[in-house]
Structure 1
């Protein structure tokens, strides 16, 4: 995979998200405060969080795409997960703010002034977010980027949230105002759930979670097909950004020559490098038994 191509694509995802969310932020808050619609104001504050998330995506992508150097021999890929975690924290903050405002509006039985502009803005938000979602999710899946996928999830959530906002506006037209506050609460809970999801994905990588057990068994099976190997002692992995370094411990006949042992190690490395997202393979050879 061309890292520069990946960097450019995710950069475009971030920039499109920033521009689209700024546009939605402005129109949502103007109409929301003008009509005193809690659902629309909550939706607008969510867009403010989206601007921050897209900006963090832009910065994180720039750092994670920096080539390896003497201090970072395996590159700066983990920055993507650090900045994804920052996005999750921002979502928690936005969720709490929206939840508090919405509960207050329910307690105080606050009503809003119906305006057809509320419907127009909600529909515009749904269309813009649909476009941003499909664009971001395609890039995220193609380049296996948590940052792009996190942005896509955020856009997807906004589609549902703006749909709920639209529903509360329509019901408000028929003087059913309490739904407006309830929608605000639902929006806050949905944002919090998304934050937890992104946090868990980032945390797993930053805490050096091992490779999937099914993939590990497949690797062991592949290694055992190599002639001259006695058994596999262990396979561990260390995440580096989107990829992994494998640390493989094997045992061979103790009377085997260094050259023969090195040949088996080379075959193991070549075989395991064929798996997706493997950056490097380190093979340690142990003696299986001694012959007298």
Structure 2
């Protein structure tokens, strides 16, 4: 026999202005009285400062519990402030994408000049990384633009996954370039070569590139709600380390041992390869259907359970990624004698409520009259 995720009885959850369908129901601020479980912030900090590991773990638990309760009690739906904030966030994300592309054009020219002037393989590796930054900006821009174009007949569920696919394609290209640079550096090591020249202009141009990347990193990192901006922030962070390391290896090769230059190019390429292989793996997990964060799923269950007083149980709940956004499936249980019209309206209003959450692409609500059955939508061999 299955056990429902959430069951009645529960405290009264709605006021007297209920209508038959629940479409205008106004939930109380804390229908399940969760605020009573909040632990005072001062007590949490006292536990976390304790010398005893048990109390520190208890403090960490209470802190996580407080965060979960605050998340559960957040209002559902978008206010006018949310709409304004989203519009502002989209503008900032557009500035990040287009600004990064413009700056990367300038940086590519600077680094290409520095690499040619010095003949350093390590600087050529960083220059190749800058070129791929240009390509990444183009891919993300095209993917984001394409995802916004609606075609209900051809793409009934939208094209939000286009951005995820763009990131996977870009990551694959970065990995390919890294492998090619490793091959060329190994050839140079085998053949032996002279130490690279390091004129002042090469050092100056790479330094300008580092300063520009630092500014871009801080700006993109501040846009936590934009997947594209976060990918660009990761790219700028990697560039800061890669360019600094490449410049250092080129200078060391010039002043000490020639082989430090191709060795530095191999190290830079391996760093790029590892970073973007990991990114591709993460994005593939999202597009395949990785489960959403457990805290998010708990909020889904809470919203479904407190949606209407006639929801007796929450039978099952699933939340999984379809790209960067999430699909939600919820099975609720109502009285067997509930009319079709009544149960439909409650289920539909719950669906609309779930789809108003920021990260939810689509929500599917199934109304059942009992929970003692085998799991649905399962294939048995």
Q: TM-score, normalised on structure 2?
A: 0.67
2:175 equivalent in structure 1: 92
8 Å contact 1:224–1:232 — kept in the other structure?
yes
* Distance change (3 Å), C-alpha of 1:8 and 1:267: closer
Kept after mapping to 2: 8 A contact 1:95/1:192: yes
User: Is the 1:98–1:185 contact (alpha carbons within 8 Å) kept by the matching residues of 2?
Assistant: yes
Which one of the candidate residues 85, 108, 112 is aligned to 1:29? 112
RMSD of aligned Cα (Å): 2.7
Q: Could you say which structure has the higher helix fraction?
A: 1
In structure 1, what is the Cα distance between the partners aligned to 2:217 and 2:87?
Answer: 22
CA distance in structure 1 between the aligned counterparts of 2:371 and 2:167, rounded to whole angstroms: 48
The answer to whether the Cα contact below 8 Å between 1:122 and 1:165 also exists between their aligned partners in 2 is: no
2:125 to 18, 23, 42: 42
Which residue matches 1:56? 139
Find the aligned partners of 1:167 and 1:239 in 2 and give their Cα distance. 41
Residues 169-180 of structure 1 mapped to structure 2, 5 A cutoff:
169-180=250-261
Cα offset, 1:146, TM superposition: 2.3
Alpha-carbon contact 2:110-2:209 (below 8 Å) kept: no
Cα distance per residue 1:172-215 (max 9 Å; x no partner) = 34223332222211211111122123212321222122322332
Give the Å deviation of 1:130: 1.1
The equivalent of 1:135 in structure 2 is 219
**Distance apart, 1:68 and its partner CA:** 5.3
> 1:104 and 1:21 mapped to 2: Cα distance?
29
Give the structure 1 partner of residue 68 of structure 2. none
CA separation of 1:131/1:115 partners in 2, compared to 1, >3 Å: closer, same or farther?
Answer: same
Distance in 2 of aligned mates of 1:71 and 1:4: 27
Which segments of 5 or more consecutive residues in structure 2 lack a partner in the other structure?
1-82, 373-381
CA contact (8 A) 2:297 2:317 kept: yes
* TM-score, with structure 1 as normaliser: 0.86
CA spacing shift, 1:50–1:97, aligned 2, 3 Å: same
State the SS of the aligned residue for 2:236: helix
Distance 1:178 1:127 in 2: 28
Is 2:268 the partner of 1:159?
Answer: no
Compared with structure 1, are the counterparts of its residues 137 and 68 closer, same or farther at alpha carbon in structure 2 (3 Å cutoff)? farther
User: Offset of 1:8 from its aligned partner?
Assistant: 5.0
The answer on whether the counterparts of 2:196 and 2:250 sit within 8 Å (CA) in structure 1 is no
